[in-house]
Amino acid sequence: MSFSAWSALLAAVALVIVVLLKPDPLPDSFFDGLTGDVDRGALVFAAAGCASCHTAPDAEPSDAPVLAGGRTFASPFGTFVAPNISSGSRGLGTWSDIDIANAILLGEGPDRTHLYPALPYAAYRNMTRQDAYDLIAYLRTLPSAITPNQPHDVGFPFNIRLGIGVRKTFFNRGEWVLETVQTAEIERGRYLVEVLGHCGECHTPRNFMGGLDRKRWLGGAPNPAGKGQIPNITSGKLGWSKDEIVDFLKSGFTPEFDSAGGQMAEVIAGLSKLPQSDLEAIAAYLKAVPALD
Amino acid sequence: MTPMTKMPLVSAVIGMIATVAIGADHIDPAVGAAIKARQSHMQLFAFNLGTLGGMAQGKIEYDADAAQMAANNLQALASVDCHPYFIVGSSNADASGTRALPAMWEDPDGVMAAFAKLQGATAEMAASAGGGLEGLQAAMGALGGACGSCHQAYRAPAN
């Protein structure tokens, strides 16, 4: 083959890769036939833990949180800064419902760029259409903030967003970790833990590409923010009864009356708003996942 | 080198190894004592919270006198000046056996604000614990929030 033929082939391959890795957005009809319910959306918001990342670093817990962004999250790939997702024009004010859904479910920005997986869209991918629409309806009722977005501090090669597309093809396949569920309660728990709660993002160790090691699901992981270990919450290590797990998620107190700390304190602030049946479902799911040492 | 001239060198090497070995595990006794004291203080919180939390969760039968006693203890514990426990050089960056983050020393105003929140929550508990289970349960939320918000900002996860 001549040089020009090689070049043409190379260009064609590159084009195919770029096209393959370009995100495929949701259809405009995605929410057709649905009505967003603000009250239900508030519960989705609480379960999904949005406030624990998107409120300002010094924000107090609130029933109408200001999602101004600005918190930083250290990782081996760089430091991510949570964006403003308030209802104002610096936040989601100019985004359509489909724009927001593309971001939450597919990790895709309105300009069809890949978003960094600090936003746990690999988990949110299996969010029901109704939950997503309720959540969006609720987000639009929250206060606006004028805080400008700050750039992430991510070095080469992770600053090439197309690379996120490669990662997505490996890790965003929407498969359940616990494939078979015995009861409706465990099924609900699976949805709350694997999807909305995105518990695995902290409690499961990661591989070299930053994807979750599903063989060590919820088996504990190094603390990305420094010293210490995010605990193993499978029954191989967590010896709490179902009731004790529910009490912890509701009150933040362990059976020994130590209190939840770190990010978990914020998670509890959200989860404690959920109905008792949901907390019981989470506990039932945790009892059902494979026990790891 | 003769054996005699070797000796100082050997002792110097042994001395260096010993220093490194001790240094790795060495902890200033004052720091160790402060860490032990503050952890004991936290243990007393947990013990009294156990009484109130057990009642709130329905695991212990509500007893107004016992609840009031535990709530008074919490309020007393929250009135202790903890500065001597948190001496400089006793964060988890400087010493082992502690989860106290350096942020505590970098943000004294934040710590004092969190501590004031705890004092408010224990006062509220002391005012309501003896008056019935419902009041106790209502006061438990703020108390849990006060514990959590301080541990969120200033304590590392366990190992």
Looking at the DSSP bridge assignments, the partners of residue A206 are A212
Q: Of chain B residues 51-90, which have a CB less than 8 A from chain A?
A: 53, 56-57
- Indicate whether A189 and A167 sit together in one domain: no
Residue A2 is assigned to a structural domain of this protein: no
Whether residue A190 contacts residue A289, with contact meaning beta carbons closer than 8 Å, is answered with no
A144 within 8 A of A94, measured Cβ to Cβ: no
Partner A contacted by B157 (CB < 8 A): yes
Would A7 be classed as within a structural domain? Answer: no
Confidence of residue A41 (pLDDT cuts 50, 70, 90): very high
ipTM score over 0.85, yes or no: no
Tell me the average pLDDT across A139-158. Answer: 91
Q: Kindly state whether residues A195 and A238 are assigned to the same domain.
A: yes
Inter-chain CB pairs, A–B, below 8 Å: 72
Q: How much is the pLDDT for B159?
A: 75
Cβ neighbours of A266 in B, within 8 Å: 152
What is the average pLDDT score of chain A? 91
CA distance B63 to B60: 9
Give the closest-approach CA distance of A102 to chain B in angstroms: 32
Residue A10 lies in a domain: no
Are A276 and A191 in contact by the 8 Å Cβ rule? The answer is no
Chain-centroid distance, C-alpha A258: 27
CB within 8 Å of chain A, chain B residues 92-131: 92, 99, 101
Q: Which of A141, A171, A201 is the last residue of a domain?
A: A171
Q: Both A71 and A142 in a single domain? A: yes
B147, B154, B155: best to mutate for the A interface, most A CBs within 10 A: B147
The verdict on A166 and A236 lying in the same domain is no
Contact A26, A101 (CB under 8 A): yes
Structure token digits, residue A96: 């359509």
Q: Which of B42, B47, B57 to mutate to test the interface with A (most CBs of A within 10 A)?
A: B57
Residues A165 and A257 placed together within one structural domain of the fold: no
Number of domains within chain A: 2
Q: Which of A138, A171, A204 is the last residue of a domain?
A: A171
Domain of residue A234, CATH code: 1.10.760
Query: DSSP code of A273?
Result: T
Confidence check: pLDDT of B43 > 70: yes
Are residues A233 and A120 both part of a single domain?
no
> For position A167, what pLDDT does the model report?
76
Residue A13: which pLDDT band, with cuts at 50, 70 and 90?
confident
> Domain locations in chain B?
29-154
DSSP readout, A160-199? Answer: -THHHHHHHHHH-S---SS---SSHHHHHHHIIIIIIS-T
The stretch A278-290 carries a mean pLDDT of 98
Q: Quick one: average pLDDT of A119-145? A: 96
Contacts of A259 in chain B (CB under 8 A): 144, 147-148, 151
What CATH homologous superfamily does B29-154 map to? Cytochrome c/b562 (1.20.120.10)
Three-state SS string over chain B comes to: CCHHHHHHHHHHHHHHHHHHHHHHHCCCHHHHHHHHHHHHHHHHHHHHHHHHHHHHCCCCCCCHHHHHHHHHHHHHHHCCCCHHHCCCCCCCCCCCCCCECCHHHHCHHHHHHHHHHHHHHHHHHHHHHHHCHHHHHHHHHHHHHHHHHHHHHHECCCC
Whether chain A has a CB inside 8 Å of the CB on B156: the answer is yes
Rounded CA separation A140/A2 (Å): 58
Q: What CATH number does the domain containing A101 carry?
A: 1.10.760.10
Q: What is the pLDDT of residues B71-104, one digit of tens each?
A: 999 999 999 999 999 999 999 999 999 999 999 9
Q: For residue A211, is pLDDT > 50?
A: yes
Contact across the interface for A259 and B147, Cβ inside 8 Å: yes
Residue A178 lies in a domain: no
Q: What predicted TM-score, i.e. pTM, was given to this entire model?
A: 0.86
Q: Lowest-pLDDT range, A107-121, A159-173, B20-34, B125-139?
A: B20-34
Considering the domain architecture, whether residues A219 and A256 belong to the same structural domain is answered as: yes
Within-domain flag for A132: yes
Statement: residue A5 has pLDDT above 80: no
B25: which 2 tokens?
């595990």
pLDDT at residue A14 greater than cutoff 90? no
In terms of residue numbers, what domain contains A50?
Answer: 26-171
- Is residue B39 within 8 angstroms of chain A, CB to CB? no
pLDDT for residue B158: 85
* Per-residue pLDDT, A235: 96
| Inside any domain, residue A204 | yes
Q: Is residue A14 part of a domain?
A: no
| Chain B contact for A260 (CB, 8 A cutoff) | yes
Answer whether residue A114 is part of any domain.
Answer: yes
Higher pLDDT, A216 or A63: A216
pLDDT value at residue A63: 83
Instruction: Judge if A192 and A280 occupy the same domain.
Output: yes
Which pLDDT value is given to residue A16?
A: 66
